[in-house]
Amino acid sequence: MALLSAMKLQGRPPPISSNLNPNSKPAGSDSVSLNASEPGSERKPRKFSSQLNRWNRARTLRSGTKLDSTITNGSNNTTGPMRPIESSSRTDVSTLDSDVSSSSNGVSEADMTAAKSIYIVSDGTGWTAEHAVNAALGQFDYCLVDRGCPVNTHLFSGIEDGEKLMEIIKQAAREGAMVIYTLADPSMAEATMRACKLWKIPSLDILGPITESISSHLGTNPSGLSRGITNSSLNEDYFKRIEAIEFTIKHDDGALPENLEKADIVLVGVSRTGKTPLSTYLAQKGYKVSNVPIVNGVDLPKTLFEIDPRKVFGLMINPLVLQGIREARAKSLGLGSSFKTKYSELGSVKEELELAKKIFAENPTWPVIEVTESAIEETAAVVLRLYDERQSNRAMPRISKSY
């Protein structure tokens, strides 16, 4: 009790109990209900340590990188995401109205000056909802940077028990959080929707409307099972990704050119155009990727010109940007000025890029992708779109194109 009181004084909501028994019910009640005697305590506005910290966070959101899924506060205490439990009990929707109505008083007193929270709830991994939230937050980076409106995202994955679901929603009510959920079980999704509506919690069902539309289009009903139940974590896609990652690592930076035919995608470009991180990103999506560097005085492997040209993609970058990247790389390796003239001197950089343009012009069926101002995810999206079009013969450029 002393710890809970201290947490309230510091403006933090009480943590969700990690030892809930899914088969037990609170004393004196047939279902889980919100305790109206626990109104949100006054909390101090969250402050960032510096403008740079806010800029970094905005940049993370814009790039789609996974956000921290833990609840973090000023004292560096964290509450991790909930994990799935062994046994599962469904929410009794028929008794939910009375429980919510009798417990909804006093939950609208949350301090709106504090950091806004978004609860992401899923009966699976939560990947779909989390990435959708990150994409949407990327539209508000101007606010995160210029106006300092902090946002906390908390991921609760593997939630298949009704009581744990209600505990999370109660916590969201106390904190004044928004609830975004992907719950395949219709009864769980409905219980969440009704609880959020009666407790006046802003909420959004990401999976439900899409599932209903597809169900109507296909003329069949969905299974209502979470992906964690319908698919094993060690399924065919999992092993395909592992195989792709192993292949990509072994064929990085021009290694084993005799195996280019086995690759799904081949990236060609001068040094420091992002070939390796782009290859790794694509490999995590299940594509076997080889990358071949263009270096002055070094001939490209003959197999590069013998393989299916639909799988080859060229990468191009602005010379001034490339020079800066190479200078930073040389400095990080502790290399002296003699190496700098060969690797990061502007004249040498332009010479290599002119060689790359010549090679791309000689191979007009290779699309050339400009990576100067693109994140890895953006470049990968272009590569995959063109790859799909070329493999399905929907598009086959006859001259070198820049994307």
Q: Rounded to whole angstroms, how far apart are CA atoms 234 and 242?
A: 11
The model's pLDDT over 243-269, given as tens digits with 9 standing for 90+, comes to: 999 999 999 999 999 999 999 999 999
Domains and CATH numbers, the chain: 116-218 (3.40.50), 236-391 (3.40.50)
Who contacts 325 (Cβ-Cβ below 8 Å, separation ≥6)?
Answer: 272
- Convert 49-88 to b/e letters by CB count within 10 Å (16 or more is b): eeeeebeebbebbbebeebebebebeeeeebebbeebeeb
What single string gives the DSSP state of each residue in 48-74? -S-HHHHHHHHHHHHHTPPPP-SEE-T
Share of the chain above pLDDT 70, in %: 64
pLDDT digits (tens, 9 = 90+) for 170-192: 999 999 999 999 999 899 999 99
Buried (b) or exposed (e) across 96-127, using 16+ Cβ within 10 A?
A: beebbeebbeebeebeeebbbbbbbbbbbbbe
Q: Which residues contact 113 (CB under 8 A, 6 or more apart)?
A: 43, 45
- pTM confidence score: 0.53
Band the pLDDT of 393: cuts 50, 70, 90. Answer: confident
> Which residues make Cβ contacts (< 8 Å) with residue 358, sequence separation at least 6?
none
Structure tokens at 336: 């002296």
Helix (H, G, I), strand (E, B) or coil at 338: helix
> Position of tokens 């340590």?
49
Return the exposure string of 288-306: e unless at least 16 CB atoms fall within 10 Å of the residue's CB, then b. Answer: bbbbbbbeeeeeebebbee
Over 90: is that where the pLDDT of 354 sits? Answer: yes
Q: For 317-348, b where at least 16 C-beta lie within 10 A, e where not — what string?
A: bebeebbebbbeebeeeeeeeeeeeebbbeeb
Which tens digit of pLDDT belongs to each residue from 66-85? 444 443 333 333 334 443 33
Phi and psi torsions of 167, nearest 5°: -65, -40
**Residue 179: which of 158, 199, 209 has the closest Cα?**
199
Cα–Cα dist 63/228, whole Å = 27
Show the beta-strand stretches assigned E in 123-238.
Answer: 151-156, 178-182, 203-205
Model pLDDT, residue 329: 84
Residue 44's pLDDT is 44
Burial class (CB in 10 A: 0-12, 13-18, 19+), 352: buried
